[in-house]
């Protein structure tokens, strides 16, 4: 086993579960999350020999993960459009039919509200609210200033609150 393979196996051990949860929040379905995680790690393996260490390994991995997830969302939008369906309706259907969704009605409503957020706001919301990533790390991963991320998260929370009602979603303000 060479150095690159050893490093890859370390990455799998340290990051696969975390990447899975992040991806799962986006795709709202276990099977698709599983496929997408494999795609992300295949990409990581392919790009690993060119990893020069200018960015931290964590940041580099999360950039790949978030980019691949956004690409998946865009592909899914096109697929939905070709079926003359809306991506929002498709996401709601996934949340309702996911056999590994164990939450209550409020959790389900929150997932649906998050799925309706615009791509970038959803990305920020998931990284901050579910993945609990500090703003500084988010800034490195997404290449956006901390101030802009805070503003984006605030707007996303307001939209979720408006969809659920203040009693159901408190948020992080």
Partner 1 sequence: MSRRNDISTPEGYFGDLQKRLSEIPARPARVSTVHRLAPYVAIAASFLVAVMLGNSILRKTATPAEDDTWSYISYLADALDPDGASLVDWEMDEEESGLSEEDIINYLLADGISVEHLNYLSYEAAY
Q: By the criterion CB under 8 A, which residues form the site for partner 1? A: 4-5, 8-9, 12-13, 16-17, 20-21, 24-25, 30, 34, 37-38, 41-42, 45, 98, 100-104, 106-108, 110-111, 129-130, 132, 168-169
**Minimum CB distance to partner 1 smaller for 5 or for 136:** 5
Q: Are 126 and 22 in contact (CB under 8 A)?
A: yes
Q: Is 165 exposed, middle or buried (0-12, 13-18, 19+ CB in 10 A)?
A: exposed
**Minimum CB distance to partner 1 smaller for 16 or for 145:** 16
Question: Which 8-state DSSP code applies to residue 9?
Answer: H
Q: Tokens at residue 38, please?
A: 């494999």
**Minimum CB distance to partner 1 smaller for 46 or for 145:** 46
Nearest approach in angstroms of CB 25 to partner 1 is 8
| DSSP-derived secondary structure for 42-95 | HHHHHHGGG--SSS-HHHHHHHHHHHHHHHHHHHHHHHHHHTT--HHHHHHHHH
Nearest approach in angstroms of CB 101 to partner 1 is 6
Nearest approach in angstroms of CB 42 to partner 1 is 6
Nearest approach in angstroms of CB 169 to partner 1 is 7
**Minimum CB distance to partner 1 smaller for 126 or for 149:** 126
Helix 57-82 with 3-27: angle, nearest 10 deg: 40
């Amino acid at each position: 086993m060479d150095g690159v393979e050893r490093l890859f196996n370390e990455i799998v051990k340290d990051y696969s579960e975390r990447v899975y949860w992040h991806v799962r929040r986006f795709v709202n379905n276990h099977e698709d999350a599983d496929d997408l995680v494999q795609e992300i790690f295949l990409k990581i393996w392919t790009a690993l020999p060119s990893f020069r260490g200018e960015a931290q390994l964590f940041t580099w991995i999360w950039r790949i993960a978030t980019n691949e997830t956004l690409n998946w969302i865009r592909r899914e939008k096109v697929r939905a459009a070709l079926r003359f369906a809306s991506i929002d309706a498709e996401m709601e259907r996934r949340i309702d039919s996911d056999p590994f969704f164990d939450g209550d009605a409020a959790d389900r409503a929150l997932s649906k509200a998050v799925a309706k957020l615009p791509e970038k706001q959803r990305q920020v919301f998931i990284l901050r609210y579910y993945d609990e990533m500090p703003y500084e790390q988010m800034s490195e991963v997404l290449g956006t200033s901390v101030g802009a991320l805070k503003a984006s998260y605030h707007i996303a929370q307001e939209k979720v609150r408006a969809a659920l009602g203040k009693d159901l979603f408190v948020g992080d303000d």
